[in-house]
Amino acid sequence: MTATAADTGFIHVFEPGSDAARKPLLLLHGTGGDERDLLSLGRTVAPGASLLSPRGKVLEGAAPRFFRRLAEGVFDEADLIRRTHELADFIEEARSRYGLPAPIALGFSNGANIAASLLLLRPEALAGAALLRAMPPFRQPLRVDLAGKPVLLLSGLLDPIVPAAGAEALAQTLAADGATVEHRSLPASHGLTQADIGLLKDWLARV
């Protein structure tokens, strides 16, 4: 059964899982996606896991996002901070409502960037994160205790939006904060490939 509700402050979909051993996934879409965008991916890479998928509340034109940007690759950090805390509060409310442990974030592009921000600002909200095509959310690295928190970072070597140096800087920031980071750079652009899906499925089976 799929339940959609808006009274937590976020339009979202929750799909209860069938495998209690699986950590739930928090699915965070990219620019222009919505709460249904990553459901199929979530089912594929974590069969049996509960899926919690909110829609970003910021509109760029008609495209939903999780926070504002000033230009491509230039984030409105004040808005990002506010939206990150708002999303963390939603996770807390949803966990109470649906009886969930802390989820693993699975974020793509804009969703991966706010997932990285969650790790840095509200690390207690997540059990870990898979960051697909992410860049550093803040200009200055933040110091936080991420000891042992698992993070998968999948980057595209041909990505025109996320420079390789940016992805590497994010990996280094999270590792310096104590996260257990697995960073893989793939011969891919900004879009996801079968290689991403295979690596993601394998990683999720291990965490």
Q: Would you list the domain boundaries of the chain?
A: 3-206
Catalytic (active site) residue 190: yes
- What is the pLDDT at residue 1? 41
Q: Are 196 and 132 in contact (CB under 8 A)?
A: yes
Do the bridges between strand 12-15 and strand 74-75 make them parallel or antiparallel, or are there none, so unpaired?
unpaired
Per the residue annotation, which of 53, 109, 117, 155 is the catalytic one?
109
Q: Choose among 18, 45, 35: nearest CA to 204.
A: 45
Mean pLDDT in residue range 140-146: 93
What confidence category does residue 165 fall into, taking pLDDT thresholds of 50, 70 and 90? very high
The total number of residues written for the chain in this structure: 207
Q: What is the pLDDT of residue 8?
A: 64
For tokens 């970003």, the residue is 56
Question: For position 72, what pLDDT does the model report?
Answer: 84
Query: What pLDDT digit, counting tens, does each position of 62-87 carry?
Result: 999 999 999 888 999 999 999 999 99
Catalytic residue among 37, 159, 177, 196: 159
Q: Is the pLDDT of residue 128 over 90?
A: yes
Q: What are 13-45's pLDDT values in tens digits?
A: 999 999 999 999 999 999 999 999 999 999 999
CA distance 139 to 147: 22
CA angle 32, 207, 49 (to 5 degrees): 55
Which three-class secondary structure state does DSSP give residue 132? strand
Mean pLDDT along residues 115-136: 98
Is 18 tagged catalytic? Answer: no
Superfamily of domain 3-206: Alpha/Beta hydrolase fold, catalytic domain (3.40.50.1820)
Q: Is 178 left (phi over 0), alpha (psi -120 to 50) or beta?
A: left
Render pLDDT for 93-125 as a digit per residue (tens, 0 to 9). 999 999 999 999 999 999 999 999 999 999 999
Q: pLDDT value at position 4?
A: 56
Catalytic pick from 34, 76, 85, 190? 190
